[in-house]
Structure 1
Amino acid sequence: MASGAAVFLDRDGVINRDTGYVAEVDDFHFLEGAIEAMQLLKKKGYQLVVVTNQSGIARGYYTEDQFLTLTEWMDWSLADRGVDLDGIYYCPHHPTEGKGEYLQACQCRKPAPGMLLEGLKELKLDPASCYLVGDKESDLDAAINAGFGHKVLVKTGKPLTESGIAKADEVYTDLMAFAKSLPSQG
């Protein structure tokens, strides 16, 4: 296992405004302070990994290619601002609403831990030292299922539930409040 820690971020509701099935650059709006929060996390020595369910692909609302084009734009937009993402993982499936090959109960769709486990393996990370920042209970369930040591909710996406709050180690107003709270790495 590598030393150091990573912060795994849900996308919609944590990094960008969750307007429902975001697939086009014109519909993607970074949340206020999110880029600066990611800059701060990188400055403090954390790896950053995005993990996002994308059932809009499964439902036929947009194609996997459209998602990848948007993701490349997001990645370059962040890189232009000094934020190099260490990994981006997505799940294009849905167990009941998917079409064709995307109709499946998979191990990558949160709350399953597949995306997180893949990131841990590829980056050689210890899950106990990693953080998952999400805006809903299924994000936290994925972190629990992957053995993450730190589960964080932010209030910038979906309305928080009592059961979600109970599973969180900490709840913050937004990603910047979380980033400010973390100590720098060694």
Structure 2
Amino acid sequence: MMKLVILDRDGVINYDSDDYIKTADEWQPLPGSLEAIARLTKAGFDVCVATNQSGLARGYFDISELHAMHHKMVQLVEEQGGRIEKIEFCPHLPEDNCYCRKPQPGLYQHILSCYPDIDPGKVFSVGDSLRDLEAAVAAGCPPILVKTGKGERTLAKGGLPGNTVIVDDLDAAAAHIIYHQHRGD
């Protein structure tokens, strides 16, 4: 049976910056994140990434630089024995009010449409911001908040969706997801 997990990028897989991650050199994995994706892959999950990238619309980087960042991420994950099946990104500004920018569920729904046999209620989604969690819930996916990236700030603000699981990092999220998948939750 096909299994799927959806991850945010900045603050979950790699270090985040309030000044944006603008180059492949600035894209640096968080400790244990690449190994966590490899564990999910080895446990039979398709791993997809859903990420807001308004830095494109702001002119901080261009599409070729974004592709270079994603190529680096995919390559580093593969070196650990993992795989990222799909990367969906929103290039728009918040004021564009598009359907793909989190907290809207468009990125998640597009990924889920590629997996029509999977119940969204069994697709864990991992993020570090409230908008990640809100997009997951709007798409019907159980949300997991990591304390990395903006996670501690998000936790301090409160107002999380009621079914949010809170973990330290992507490694802990992977352990939670694999455990619940084996239990059949």
TM-score, scaled to structure 1:
0.87
Residues paired across the two proteins, number: 175
Partner of 1:177: 172
The within-5 A match list for 1:1-186 is 3-20=1-18, 21-96=20-95, 104-124=96-116, 125-148=118-141, 150-158=142-150, 159-160=153-154, 161-164=157-160, 166-181=161-176, 182-183=178-179
Cα shift at 1:59:
0.8
Cα shift at 1:121:
0.7
- Structure 2, unaligned runs of 5 or more: none
Partner of 1:99: none
Contact 2:5 2:124 in 1 (8 A): yes
Task: Indicate the percent of aligned positions where both proteins have the same amino acid.
Answer: 38
Cα shift at 1:155:
0.1
Q: Matched residue of 2:49: which SS?
A: strand
Structure 2 counterpart of 1:113, one-letter code: P
CA deviations over 1:33-58 (Å, ceiling 9, x no partner): 10111111112111101000001111
CA deviations over 1:138-167 (Å, ceiling 9, x no partner): 00110111111x110000011122113x44
Q: Matched residue of 1:25: which SS?
A: coil
Structure 1 counterpart of 2:172, one-letter code: A
Cα shift at 1:81:
2.1
Structure 2 counterpart of 1:47, one-letter code: D
Structure 2 counterpart of 1:180, one-letter code: A
- Structure 1, unaligned runs of 5 or more: 97-103
Relative to structure 1, the CA distance from residue 13 to residue 167 in structure 2 (aligned partners, 3 Å threshold; closer, same or farther) is: farther
Once superposed, which parts of structure 1, at least 4 consecutive aligned residues long, lie more than 4 Å away?
none
Structure 1 CA distance for aligned equivalents of residues 65 and 80 of structure 2: 23
